């Protein structure tokens, strides 16, 4: 069963619709105590503002340490701001993130993006390693954001991972991160039509490591 963590983002309806379509059992988790043994996977959604998402998590008892424990124990899909809060901080606010990965979220403007900001629409992903990810092949995903990550500090992050990058206006930013038990996306799989459905299938169907 998938537990969808309530990050105060109003639009988890689209994620619920996708899971329903795929007939995957799920429930919304409003408090950390509700994460039990039945929950094998968690989704960390996020729309809106970095600070709002972090604050909602903390006020719902999802303390940093506990949340990271859960992320390490279960399989996790972090979406958009849900991915950004896994990092140290964001230019969008002063509050610190979960420090799961080391890096700072920056505005596309400060990253010197020369194209339209926000980055809205479908775009493709280039992956750093040759790995057979069928759900990525010749597919586009939906982006809607003004902030992004341009790098992960490899040494400090101390995890094995693969990243996917997307370019927009001369900026290459991180759009996908895969670790053994986590998938993080800057794009919205729940809004990416069939491409997104394939990603949900990979997330829930893959028995062992994601990389």
Partner 1 sequence: MVKKRVIFKLIFKDDAFHLSRNFSLQRAGDTNWLFDKMNFKKISDHIDELIILNASKNNSINPLPNFFKKSIEELMRKTFIPLTIGGGLTNLGQIDECFELGADKIILTSAVKTCPELIDKCSSKYGAQAVSVGIDFKKIDLINKNKKSCYFSYINNGKDKFMSLNEHIKFIRKFKFGELMMTSIDMDGTGFGFDKDVLKIFDNKIRFPILLSGGAGKPLHFEELIGNKKISALVTGNLYNFLGSGLQTLRKKIVDKGVNLRVI
Nearest CA-CA partner of 26 in 193, 80, 54, 17? 17
**Per CB under 8 A, does 89 bind partner 1?**
no
Q: How far apart are CA 208 and CA 35, in angstroms?
A: 21
Q: Using CB under 8 A, which of 139, 173, 178, 203 touches partner 1?
A: 139
Q: Is the peptide bond before 118 cis (omega within 30 degrees of 0)?
A: yes
**Per CB under 8 A, does 134 bind partner 1?**
no
Site string for partner 1, 56-85 (x = CB under 8 A): ------------------------------
**For residues 102 and 107, which CB has a smaller minimum distance to partner 1 in the complex?**
107
Tell me how far, at minimum, the Cβ of 78 lies from partner 1, in Å. 17
Judged by CB under 8 A, the stretch of 71-79, 121-129, 156-164, 173-181 that binds partner 1 is 121-129
Number of residues that bind partner 1 (CB under 8 A): 41
Q: Using CB under 8 A, which of 20, 27, 30, 126 touches partner 1?
A: 20
**Per CB under 8 A, does 198 bind partner 1?**
no
**Per CB under 8 A, does 103 bind partner 1?**
no
**Per CB under 8 A, does 150 bind partner 1?**
no
Choose the catalytic residue: 80, 119, 145, 198. 80
**Per CB under 8 A, does 49 bind partner 1?**
yes
DSSP labels, the chain = -EEEE--S-GGGHHHHHHHHHTT--EEEE-SGGG--TT--EEEE---S-HHHHHHHHHHTT--HHHHHHHHHHSEEEEETHHHHTTSSEETT-SSB---SS--EEEETTTTT--S-SSEEEEE--EESS----GGGTT--EEEEESEEE----HHHH-S--EEEEEEETTEEEEEEEE-SSEEEESSBGGGSHHHHHHHHHHHHH--S---
**Per CB under 8 A, does 145 bind partner 1?**
yes
Nearest CA-CA partner of 15 in 176, 190, 147, 188? 190
**For residues 161 and 168, which CB has a smaller minimum distance to partner 1 in the complex?**
168
The residue ranges that bind partner 1 (CB under 8 A) are: 9-11, 13-14, 17-18, 20-21, 47-49, 52, 115-124, 138-140, 142-146, 167-168, 188, 190-194, 196-197
Q: Which residues are catalytic?
A: 80, 188, 190
């Amino acid at each position: 069963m998938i537990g969808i963590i309530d990050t105060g983002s109003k639009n988890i309806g689209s994620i619920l619709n996708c899971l329903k379509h795929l007939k995957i059992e799920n429930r919304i988790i409003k408090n950390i105590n509700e994460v039990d043994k039945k929950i094998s996977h968690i989704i960390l959604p996020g729309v809106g503002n970095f600070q709002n998402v972090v604050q909602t998590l903390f006020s719902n008892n999802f303390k940093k340490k506990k949340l990271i424990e859960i992320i390490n124990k279960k399989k996790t899909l972090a979406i958009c701001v849900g991915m950004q809060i896994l990092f140290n901080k964001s230019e969008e606010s002063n509050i610190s993130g979960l420090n799961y990965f080391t890096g700072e979220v920056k505005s596309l403007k400060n990253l010197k993006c020369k194209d339209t900001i926000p980055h809205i629409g479908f775009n493709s992903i280039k992956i750093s390693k040759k790995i057979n990810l069928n759900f990525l092949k010749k597919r586009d995903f939906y982006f809607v954001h003004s902030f992004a990550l341009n790098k992960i500090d490899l040494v400090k992050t101390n995890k094995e991972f693969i990243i996917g990058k997307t370019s927009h206006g001369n900026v290459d930013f991180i759009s996908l991160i895969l670790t053994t038990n986590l998938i993080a996306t800057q794009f919205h799989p729940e809004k990416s039509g069939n491409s997104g459905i394939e990603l949900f299938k990979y997330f829930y169907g893959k028995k062992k490591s994601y990389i």
